Amino acid sequence: MKRTTSATLPRHHKVAALRAAGPELLGAHVSTAGGPASAPARGTAIGATAIQIFTKTPNMWREPVVTPAIAAAFQAAREAHPVGTVMSHDSYLINLASPDAALRARSTEAFQGELRRSDALGLDAIVSHPGNFIDDHDAGLARNAQALTEALRGVPGGVKVYLESTAGTGTALGRSFEELATLRELVGDDVRHRVAFCVDTCHLFSAGYDLVGDYDGVWQRWDRVIGRELLGCVHLNDSKTPFASRKDRHELIGEGSLGGEPFRRIMNDPRFVGVPKILETPKGDDDEVTNDRRMLALLREMAA
């Protein structure tokens, strides 16, 4: 008698089996106003099972310290308001690829601060933009990898770094799968295991990956160039701008140039079961509550 495995199940049965095997990880970036301990409650208020936070003000260099009391309060809040995955997004000022030695050194120090805070809070990962090369593309990749290696060696631990795909604006690195793969390969082999990736649907579409017209082809290319095992997170954002615009402007799900179908497919695709999916869509007048709750309900409806 032939044994039935997940590989031989019909697709809809395979999705159901995978969902039963692991928790749904779906949520949004939430505020830490009042301190990191405020974030888990905000997550559960919108129905999130995964959240992303800032551990510091993202457009300031000031480096706060996570004291034992702050860390304990965060863990208590996470137990009281369970969310399956919590990750941070690093500062917008950090540019590990900068040709300016002083800025690169300051960025490396700031990134180490992000690693220390995330480790103290017990976070799962840090999402990080690869930075801007400014002068020479290949030199920028090498500088980024060297700084990333230095930071990871300087702050040992279990926190992973998810390098985020970018829209390809200006001299931003991370616009292609090949570029992301090269950057990881240049990281020191003793810390490379701590580096994986986050893809952003708006960024992919704006960079020229046609999630509307060639959905399967995009993910097949990801598997060939990088590998599914290195996908740590997906940012779910529609785009205000057209395909291949090279612009990073997020829109509510189903209300931008991607439309609803790519998100429906992601929510029902067995390749993404167990991968945290995080909204970074526009907030409403009441901050994150109404829009984020509505977007999460819409995504769950797509998956029903």
- CA-nearest of 260, 49, 246 to 165 is 246
Read off the pLDDT of residues 202-248 as tens digits, 9 standing for 90 and up.
Answer: 999 999 999 999 999 999 999 999 999 999 999 999 999 999 999 99
Give the Cα separation of 8 and 16 in Å (integer): 14
Pull the structure tokens for residue 295.
């977007």
Is residue 3's pLDDT more than 60? no
Give the Cα separation of 179 and 68 in Å (integer): 39
Question: Residue 291's domain spans which residues?
Answer: 23-303
- Average pLDDT of the chain, as a whole number: 92
Domain membership of residue 11 (yes or no) is no
- The CA R_g of the chain, rounded to the nearest whole Å, is 19
Is residue 287's pLDDT more than 90? no
Question: C-alpha angle with apex 270: 266 to 276, nearest 5 degrees?
Answer: 60
Domain CATH number, residue 83:
3.20.20.150
Is residue 5's pLDDT more than 50? no
Domain membership of residue 265 (yes or no) is yes
Is residue 285's pLDDT more than 60? yes
- DSSP H or E run through 201: helix 201-207
Pull the structure tokens for residue 93.
């000022």
Q: How many domains does the chain have?
A: 1
Domain membership of residue 206 (yes or no) is yes
Domain membership of residue 65 (yes or no) is yes
**Residue whose token pair is 């160039």:** 225
**Which of 19-23, 273-277, 287-291 shows the lowest mean pLDDT across its residues?**
19-23
Domain membership of residue 107 (yes or no) is yes
Domain membership of residue 14 (yes or no) is no
Q: Coil, strand or helix: which one is 151?
A: helix
Domain membership of residue 70 (yes or no) is yes
- CA-nearest of 235, 239, 219, 225 to 184 is 225
Give the Cα separation of 260 and 145 in Å (integer): 36
Domain membership of residue 151 (yes or no) is yes
- Residue 23 is predicted with a pLDDT of 67
**Residue whose token pair is 């020229």:** 208
Average pLDDT over residues 247-254: 98
